[in-house]
Every structure is written in structure tokens, then in C-alpha cells.
Amino acid sequence: MAQETFSKEELSRYSRHLIIPEFNIEGQRKLKAAKVLVVGTGGLGAPLLQYLAAAGVGTIGVLDFDVVEDSNLQRQVLFSTNDIGKPKVLAAKERLEGLNPYIKIVTHNVLLSSQNALDIVKDYDLVADGTDNFPTRYLVNDACVLLGKTNVYASIYRFDGQVSVFNYTNKEGVVGPNYRDLFPSPPPPGLVPSCAEGGVLGVLPGIVGSLQANEVIKVITGVGEPLAGRLFLFDAMNFETRTVKVHRDDENPLNGKNPSITELIDYQEFCGFSSNKEEDVKSLSVAEFLDLQNSDEPFQLIDVREDFEYEISNLEGVHIPLADVEEEVGQIVSDKKVVVHCKAGGRSKKAIELLEKEFGFSNLYNLTGGIDAYFEEVDAN
């Protein structure tokens, strides 16, 4: 492999790296030769991408299928108001190329799936996982293990953050633990809210995403000791940190003593989000709900979102946050149709399942797509 060379302008740009004795030009060469895939351009991906680009990582893959929304800007500082409505990968590419014209940005405007993950990941040296849902985390992990790639992981929720380095091969050739060693199985659907449902302090992704970028750079350059076999925990509320050890699990289905997973699986089903489970509760589409509103049929509307979400916008339904449903069950009628909704349909489905199981309701309907789908339909018309 030809040794990476630098122009006079690049040497000037990276001069603060070059004068670090442990880093110097050899570390910068490794960065320039590296290919890193960043999965997710949200709260974690925003600082992660900026620092990797600024540091001089030669090829950065940006994978996301979402568009920039106004609510993203509280924490996703990669974007601006002018980017609202644009595909995130394209807005990110424009910003990163403006930050560093000496690197290559490759966009993947797709939803990562079991069908495309191996083809995408194989072209990169390592992956940085900045996603916010369990199916994709397991998918990224399994693709990295099957392909022998390092997975630099981070997650955030409200005031808490985590960082680790999975499937890292050290200088002795020993492969460290992966995500499945830490979390052998996912939590039940709905038990752990996403940032969209539970919230996140805007500055937290900047802190944790920067730590994640630090680990990526360490893995590429060989400078320092990566967080392999360790999970770093950060509590922004109390400014407390701790590091816990993570060990290989002989029962790991990917690379334990008796591997049972040799190819990518259905991760939605693995995490309890299989599409056939949508039929477990009755539902109404937005169009059907609009017809119900315009009819003479009596019904009750229940909103199970959090207080702040209800204050931002609501459909004037009875407000009972999901956590209070059991306590406030007396407010829910049983003698007419009841439509339950949240932001996108997940929490309302969980509320219905609870009410049907514990209290015997049979008149509950989930609003498919939640209030987001409702306003999208209304605005379209």
C-alpha cells in the first residue's frame, strides 16, 4: 500500500496533531488512509462526524435515511435552519466538505437492513454506531462481528451516556467482547423509550459523541488504549463517571463456544417489533380517524404522551401520560369507542396492551402513526 502523502495546506491544517510525539505524522497518515462508516446523523452523529472530518479521516461514510427537522436542531449541531427538509446525509456532506475539503464523504441515504448491511459495512475499516434503537444496534453489531470490523458504540438518554469499543482486535490478536456480550437480549418493546419519547439534554450528545470520536481516532491510529472490554458511563446530571468491565460470553450466539448465528437475521422480530404484531391491537388509520371525527358516532380520545409534548401540540384529547395509565384508568370509558394516540404509535399500542390485559378493555383503537401522521395528513390536504 502506498504511503499517504500530504500537501503543504494539509500539513498546516493538521499541525497540532503532528507536533504530538505519540501521534505525529504517522498517526495522521493512518487517519488519512482510514475509512469509517458513521451510522446515524442524529445527536451522536453530529459531533462525531464533525470531529472525524476535522481530524482528517480520509473517507467517511454517512448513513441515514431521515430528513432534517426543526426539533433536531436542539442537539444536532451539524445542521442549520436552512437544512430543514433536506436529507440528512446530503446536508451533512455539504457541511463536512466545507469543514475539510481534503477528505472524501460517501453518502448512504438508505435504511440499514439485513439485506444491505454487509454490502455497505464491508467497504469500511470500522463502524461508529450513533443509532437510537435496539434493532439497528444489534444489526450493526452482528454485521461488524461477521465481517471482523470494530464497532465503536455510544448511546444517550436524558442525562446519561455510554461509550464502548466492541469487537476490537488488540495487538496480540485477541478479539474483545461485542454488544451481545453486554446485552445478550434486547429489553421488551416500549420498556426503554427513545430520545424522541424520553428526551435528552441537548449538550449530552455533544459530550458523548466527542468521546466516541476520540475512541474512533484511537482505534485507527493505535494511540492509547481503546475502551475495548470496558463500558464508560457518564451521568451529566450529577457529573459522575464510572467504567465497568465487559467480558466475552461463551454463550454469545455470534462468536461464543457454539455459534448459532452465521448470517444477519430479522432484527425487528428479534427485538419484538415484528410487523405481524401490529394486529395484536385494533387500530385506526388517520383517514379512518378523520371520518370518525366528522361522524356522529361518540368516541373518546386519549393522549398518552408526556406533558411537554401535549403542551406543544394536541388534539384536545384526555391527557394521560403512559406512566400514569394504570392510576388514571377511571378516566377511560368502556361504553364507546376509545382512540389512543402518542407521537408515532408505539406508546399508545403499549398502553392499549396494558389496558386490555389488566382491565379487560375491548373498545380501544390505536391511531396508526400517532399525532405525527395525523398532522402530516391534515397538512397534505
DSSP assignment of 322-362 equals GGGTTTTGGGS-SSSEEEEE-SSSHHHHHHHHHHHHHH---
**CA Rg value for the chain:** 23
Q: What is the pLDDT of residues 272-331, one digit of tens each?
A: 765 444 447 899 999 999 999 999 999 999 999 888 888 888 999 999 998 899 999 999
CATH fit for domain 34-270, picks 3.40.50.620, 3.40.50.720, 3.90.1170.50, 1.10.3720.10: 3.40.50.720
Nearest to 228 by CA among 180, 167, 174: 167
Closest CA to 48 of 63, 26, 33: 63
Which stretches in the chain have pLDDT values below 70?
A: 1-2, 189-198, 273-279, 380-381
**Cβ–Cβ under 8 Å, residues 61 and 149:** no
User: Would you state the cell numbers that stand for residue 286, as one nine-digit string?
Assistant: 388517520
The pLDDT assigned to 307 comes to 86
* Cβ contact 37:61 at 8 Å: yes
Choosing among 1.10.240.10, 3.30.465.10, 3.40.250.10, 3.20.20.80, the CATH entry for 281-380 is 3.40.250.10
- Joined together, the cell numbers standing for residue 354 give 396494558
Examine the residue annotation and report whether 342 is marked as an active-site residue of this protein: yes
- Inter-residue contact 250 to 266 (CB < 8 Å): no
Catalytic residue among 195, 332, 351, 355: 195
pLDDT at 323: 86
Structural domain spans, the chain:
34-270, 281-380
State the pLDDT at residue 176.
96
pLDDT value at residue 375: 87
Q: What are the Cα distances from residue 273, in Å, to 277, 280, 349? A: 7, 11, 12
Query: Is 144 labeled as catalytic in the residue annotation?
Result: no
Among the listed residues 181, 63, 203, the one whose alpha carbon sits nearest the alpha carbon of residue 120: 63
Set 228, 342, 352, 371: catalytic member: 342
φ and ψ at residue 124, rounded to 5 degrees:
-120, 155
Q: pLDDT at position 269, please?
A: 85
